[in-house]
Amino acid sequence: MKFSANLGFLWADRPLPDAIKSAKAAGFDAVECHWPYDVPAADTRKALNETGLRMLGLNTRRGNVAIGENGLSALPGREAEARAAIDEAIEYASAVGAAAVHVMAGNSSGPRARQAFVENLTYACERAEGKGIVILIEPLNHYNAPGYYLNSLSLAADVIREIAKPNLRIMFDFYHVQIMEGDVTRRLETLLPLIGHVQVASVPDRGAPDHGELDYRYVFERLEQLGWEAPIGAEYLTGANSVPDLAWLERHRLGPSATTCAGCGSCGSTCETGIAVDARS
């Protein structure tokens, strides 16, 4: 399986170009980020070219973070700011060769919020279409993002069907979905035609995807069975020093059907024990 390092959390204490190089050294297949705008696009593109990694996606700006804003696109009356943020994100994504832009909705509710969201997303899709960029929307859970407009998969699917643009997709984050709704693999199967990217982290602590409520061995196996081939986004918290725990990565890169050494369980081959065991055991 392939994995993408989300540099909003992993190696977040390093300048973005250095974080990209760290992701390459760690064995990731791609990278993604949150808000790269303080780094010139040319510097980011240079690091991507040097490592051979692709930037899968980045976010639109949140707005005024000091007062708790978490996106602009579902805020009635803020259309000019929302579209400026969309333009900025698409321009940066195009400059670095990123595949997608996550348009952040913001904290709001009601019919006027939906209208603003639909109109701004339509604008984003039309601006991105000629550049080959996918627009992503991500439902966020009410613990991490209280008051966030896009708070369920059903709402995301309704908005996508209403807009009916081929480059509008769901970012399916297993961490958020498990907290909001549960039943993650059935929801994945049902919504697969609308999904553009998936992300993982443990639940409830949002650590590495190797413990907690979700059995990621099963999740990854189901993704493989469903034909998912794109890199899976690793968006998890790393602790105070920002150095990620990567013990899970090599195990899952081998794939659900791979074998691992019965000795240490991480190298993907037999050693002096001479015994190979199923990685799922």
- Residues belonging to the active site: 138, 235
CB contact burial 59-72 (16+ within 10 A = b; e otherwise): bbbbbeeeeebbbb
Measuring CA to CA, which residue among 166, 167, 184, 186 is closest to residue 176?
184
Q: At what angle do helices 153-163 and 184-191 cross, to 10 degrees?
A: 0
* Total Cβ atoms within 10 A of residue 155: 16
Provide the strand spans (E) within 85-192: 100-102, 134-137, 168-173
- DSSP character at residue 241: T
Task: Please name which of 51, 59, 57 lies closest in space to residue 23, comparing C-alpha atoms.
Answer: 51
Calpha distance 74→213 (Å, rounded): 31
